[in-house]
């Protein structure tokens, strides 16, 4: 009887422990599940906050694009001055460091294509500053030639960008032309950006001066004007470096300036609107799935 | 089935003088007197709370006597994490031995048991949330993958 009782007690104890074991196992999984759910809830909350912040930032940048667009010459305005023209623009982000500037004074047209260092918001802020300075310069004297405009821009950039903060190292590469369509005259001056003129299929590229605007210690040459007598049918192109520097193709290599010149030359017998389509298609085909590395701006017109 | 590289299996092969200072149905405690270390190994997948407390209570006078500075908890045989036991271990036992000068804890979790490791993390988070005055931030707690590493670091 005692032996049976001992066995029963022992069995009872084992069952109690087994129950406790199972109950603990259940508790362990419930606690872990609750812990993971809590982490998931926190992540969802953080995701919601990040999405809201992202939306605020994107809305803000989208709105700043409207402001930047008010400063930059758009294609319709350009065509009022030069009817047979196009602009291929592909900003890396919503706002761009590449910009066009234009000013018409009677039959004289001033046109600039600029490429501010960097891209996105910093590039866009600098572009608005540069455009404002260009407007100020041309308003103060409408007889300035492109080299004089750039010289004044250089002085203003040095004055304002180093006035309060000596650490600003940003600048702009910019080509400026003064165009008289009636007289078929073009004057070109530039800090680092080239001009391409194609006449009867023959391409001439004039490089910009090696000159960093706003930094008196980084220049190898003086700014100077180049004069061109134009003929009917001449094609003129101004562009930033984003197109040539874009990686793509089978080996993910840069498009290169050489290929860009070949592209402009090989399309030069097409109607200008078709040249624009070819340029656009070539860029996006080359880029493929690669990320865009910089802003792209290419402006073309035909006399 | 017990794990292969627990303290009781590996200690004989290591070059340390050690004594068996506590032995119960559910666990064993070794002392490395020269290193002032105690090592506790639990035998089963699950240890009932009273048996758990019995083993750990038995360590308190030994910790004091041997001036123990490090406690290694070998949990490699465990598969069930019992939160009430862990709360008692954290809140009461660790506090008691901290008062006796022991603040270094090394833990060896079961290998290839992510559910158990996750339960440890969940349990620890629950304790920190429910017992904000715990002494946990005063302790040197580190995880090891084997007994030799736990003794050394």
Query: Taking chain B (153 residues) in consecutive chunks of 10 residues, what is each chunk's mean pLDDT?
Result: 84 95 96 97 94 97 96 95 92 95 96 90 91 89 95 93
At residue A274 the predicted structure's pLDDT band, cuts being 50, 70 and 90, is: very high
Best B52, B116, B119, B129 residue to mutate vs chain A (most A CBs within 10 Å) = B119
Write down the residue that tokens 């069952």 correspond to: A15
Q: Does B121 touch chain A (CB under 8 A)?
A: yes
User: Could you report the predicted ipTM of this complex, rounded to two decimals?
Assistant: 0.84
DSSP class of residue B44? S
**Residue A32 is nearest to which of B46, B82, B118, comparing CB atoms?**
B118
Q: Which domains does chain B have, with CATH numbers?
A: 7-152 (3.30.750.24)
Say what the pLDDT of residue A201 is. 93
pLDDT at A241 over 80: yes
pTM here is: 0.70
Asked whether A224 and A189 are in contact (CB, 8 A), the reply is: yes
Say what the pLDDT of residue A52 is. 96
> How do strand A202-206 and strand A247-248 relate by DSSP bridges?
unpaired
Q: Do A28 and B45 touch (CB under 8 A)?
A: no
Q: Do B80 and A34 touch (CB under 8 A)?
A: no
Best A32, A33, A34, A41 residue to mutate vs chain B (most B CBs within 10 Å) = A32
Q: Do B122 and A35 touch (CB under 8 A)?
A: yes
The CA distance from A253 to B60, in Å, is 70
Closest residue of chain A to B46, computed from CA coordinates:
A21
Residue A201's region, left for phi above 0, alpha for psi from -120 to 50, else beta, is left
Contacts of B119 in chain A (CB under 8 A): 28-29, 31-32
**Nearest one of A132, A139, A137 to A149, comparing CA atoms:** A137
Per-residue pLDDT tens for A184-221? 999 999 999 999 999 999 999 999 888 878 776 667 78
At residue A167 the predicted structure's pLDDT band, cuts being 50, 70 and 90, is: low
Q: Do B80 and A35 touch (CB under 8 A)?
A: no
């Amino acid at each position: 009887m005692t032996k049976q009782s001992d066995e029963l007690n022992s069995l009872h104890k084992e069952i109690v422990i087994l129950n406790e074991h199972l109950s603990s196992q259940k508790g362990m999984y419930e606690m872990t599940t609750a812990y993971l759910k809590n982490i998931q809830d926190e992540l969802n909350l953080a995701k919601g906050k990040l999405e809201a912040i992202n939306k605020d930032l994107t809305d803000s940048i989208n709105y700043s694009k409207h402001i930047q667009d008010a400063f930059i010459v758009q294609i319709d305005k350009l065509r009022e001055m030069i009817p047979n023209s196009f602009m291929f623009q592909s900003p890396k982000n919503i706002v761009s460091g590449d910009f066009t500037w234009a000013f018409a004074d009677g039959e004289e047209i001033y046109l600039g294509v600029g490429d501010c260092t960097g891209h996105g918001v910093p590039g866009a802020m600098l572009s608005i500053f540069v455009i404002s300075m260009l407007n100020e310069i041309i308003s103060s004297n409408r007889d300035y030639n492109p080299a004089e405009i750039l010289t004044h821009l250089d002085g203003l950039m040095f004055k304002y960008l180093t006035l309060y903060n000596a650490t600003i190292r940003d600048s702009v590469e910019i080509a400026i032309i003064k165009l008289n369509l009636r007289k078929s005259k073009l004057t070109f001056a530039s800090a680092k950006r080239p001009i391409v003129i194609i006449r009867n299929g023959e391409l001439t590229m004039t490089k910009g001066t090696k000159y960093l605007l706003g930094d008196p210690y980084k220049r190898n040459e003086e700014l100077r004007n180049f004069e061109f007598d134009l003929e009917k049918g001449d094609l003129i192109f101004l562009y930033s470096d984003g197109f040539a520097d874009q990686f793509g193709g089978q080996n993910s290599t840069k498009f290169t300036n050489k290929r860009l010149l070949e592209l402009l030359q090989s399309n030069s017998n097409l109607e200008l609107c078709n040249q624009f389509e070819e340029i656009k298609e070539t860029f996006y085909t080359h880029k493929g799935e690669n990320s865009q590395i910089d802003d792209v701006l290419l402006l073309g017109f035909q006399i | 089935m017990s794990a292969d590289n627990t303290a009781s299996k590996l200690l004989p092969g290591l070059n340390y003088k050690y004594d068996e200072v506590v032995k119960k149905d559910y666990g064993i405690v070794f002392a490395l007197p020269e290193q002032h270390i105690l090592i506790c190994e639990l035998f089963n997948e699950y240890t009932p709370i009273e048996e758990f407390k019995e083993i750990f209570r038995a360590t308190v006078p030994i910790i004091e006597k041997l001036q123990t500075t490090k406690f290694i908890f070998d949990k490699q045989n465990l598969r069930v994490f019992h939160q009430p036991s862990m709360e008692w271990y954290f809140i009461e036992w660790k506090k008691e031995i901290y008062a006796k000068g022991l603040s270094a804890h090394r833990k060896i979790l079961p290998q290839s048991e992510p559910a158990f490791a996750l339960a440890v993390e969940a349990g620890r988070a629950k304790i920190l949330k429910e017992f904000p005055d715990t002494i946990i931030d005063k302790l040197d707690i580190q995880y090891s993958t084997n007994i030799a590493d736990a003794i050394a670091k």
